[in-house]
Chain A
Amino acid sequence: MSKQKRNPGQEASETLGWWHAHRFMILRRLSQITVLALFLLTPWLGANWLGIHLIDGNLSSSRILDTVPMTDPLLALQTLAALHPLRLTAAAGALLVAGLYWLIGGRTFCSWVCPINPVTDLAGVLRRKLDIRTSHRLPRTARYWLLGLVLVLPLVTGVLAWEIVNPVSQVYRGLLFGMGSGWMLIVAIFLFDLLVSQRGWCGHLCPLGAFYSLIGKASPVKVNASRREQCDDCMDCYAVCPEPQILPIALKPAKGGGPVLNPSVLNKRDCTRCGRCIDVCAKQVFDFQMNIKFSRQAPDTSRATKRSLAK
């Protein structure tokens, strides 16, 4: 990209209203804050309010209402790689979480729950506002190498080696059980994303994101460029998308040029379902799509197709 956009979404904000142009970002922040608040409030509520424990633990493993277990599936795989037979509680929790994120889109975790996301989002925004263009280009596949490493290390060392440095679990643990010097890790990732590599951590390195990419590859929840014939190449979505390499597939017209009828789904596994492209698009090209194949619903009956056919 030769030119960085300083204010993507401005046009959407003017034509569709501020709320429309920011709604998914706001909802995501609410989701992130709500999950954290539930964890934070649980010890206090447990002591002062009917003894009800909403959700104890942290993102590595937790327990809802003293009964339902949740476990980070990648962490569960690491314990298996370290040759520890996991107890049924944690194993069931891992399956539950893996199933949940398959259902709601894999990397939905990254943009709706992960505590690192606001940090790297802020770095991304600042990068745009301050017009910082220097960026060390890392390969997008680096995270899969890292994911392999994360799963091999427990076998070699016998301990959950990645957990010693994993910023995702560490930041959450820090917020809930005492941060200590853990804040330095947050600052390091922020500076890395701001000054060294654009979207460096979440978009290129994070092995947990890579893991959820794989889980969400066949997920029914997708962002869909269902009205791509309306696209006016303003490039706002490119400016805000944390994984812009997935966009051309959605927006590129079919052979021969011109608007096309078939809606294209952003089914590339790296999409974090953050919905920011839906927010900033003044032409309302994108929307979320729940693609569960019931017999009564064929996959190409989205609103856009119907409308285009009606024309």
Chain B
Amino acid sequence: MDKKNDKNKTLSRRRFLTGTAQAACATGLLGLGLTYIAEKSKVHAAQALRPPGALPEDDFLAACLRCGLCVRDCPWDTLKLAKPEDPIAIGTPYFNAREIPCEMCEDIPCAKACPSGALDHHLDDINEARMGLAVLIDRQNCLSLQGLRCEVCYRVCPLIDEAITLKRTHNERTGAHTSFEPVVNPDVCIGCGKCEKACVLEEAAIKVMPRDLAMGELGHHYRLGWEEAEKAGKPLIPDLLDLPDRLPEGTKL
């Protein structure tokens, strides 16, 4: 490039074409590599949770500037920006519920701080946030399910008796007692992570996971009869079918 005249007079067509082709190929190869890395960055570990009001992950990765203003405005040091080795897209904000859960600030300063809209500015009620969903993932080691009076996850839940309730079941082991099983209501749980943080086991039996991982999804063509009936105000099928009674000849009902 040094010999390139400022008026390009000495640059032959052949040199221009080969140079351009080389640059285009190199850029293309680099682009392939970066695309591969970009696709990989869309997958993240289940224990990494997004701040309240985060867009769905694909949109979030298009929007997040990785500036850390949400991290700076979080009063509880809950949020972190991902380092290169962390199990989530580099530079993006996340928290690990087992380390520091979300304290559910009423004014949601993290979402308000976001300059790009990756965190929804219009989220007014922290109870509407859906950071994740608590799942009682290990039913074998959960103390409550073994019939012991633990229920710590239930007690610490900020939405006690709404997000986590206790279900009484018969204790099969003793045959004489009741087990108090923590049950999470997915319609209410916001995924703050207090339950996972408080679980007394070495490794938590109840864990908060990203909702797309924790929840199933009904086929979009499915219609639940009882819901449709409620919507319509009447059963969708007119009446029970009354099939003709076939009886042996000569008999009467």
Show the binding face of A for B, using Cβ within 8 Å.
Answer: 42-43, 53, 56-58, 60-63, 69, 71-72, 75, 79, 82-87, 89-90, 93, 137, 139-142, 145-146, 148-149, 152-154, 156-165, 169-170, 173-174, 176-182, 184-185, 245, 248-249
Contact = CB atoms under 8 A, between A and B. Distances in A.
A184 B2 CA distance: 32
Contacts of B68: 56-58, 173, 176-177
A158 to B, nearest CB: 6
A60 B83 contact: no
B79 to A, nearest CB: 10
Main SS of the interface on chain A?
A: helix
Interface in B16-41: 19, 23-24, 26-27, 30-31, 34-35, 37-39, 41
A45 to B, nearest CB: 12
A164 B34 contact: yes
B85 A61 contact: no
3 closest residue pairs by CB, A with B: A180-B83, A61-B67, A82-B62
Given A146-B27, A173-B91, A159 B61 contact: yes
Contact of A153 (B26, B31, B66, B81): B31
B93 to A, nearest CB: 9
Contacts of B141: none
Chain B, interface size category, equals 35 or more
Contact of A164 (B31, B38, B59, B85): B38
B37 A161 contact: yes
B63 interface: yes
B239 interface: no
A165 B30 CA distance: 12
Nearest to B2: A245
B65 A162 contact: no
A75 B115 CA distance: 13
A53 B72 CA distance: 10
A154 B31 CA distance: 11
Interface in B71-124: 71-73, 80-81, 83-86, 89-91, 113-117, 121
B91 A249 contact: no
Contacts of A72: 65
Contacts of B58: 158-159
A38 to B, nearest CB: 13
B149 interface: no
A177 B66 CA distance: 11
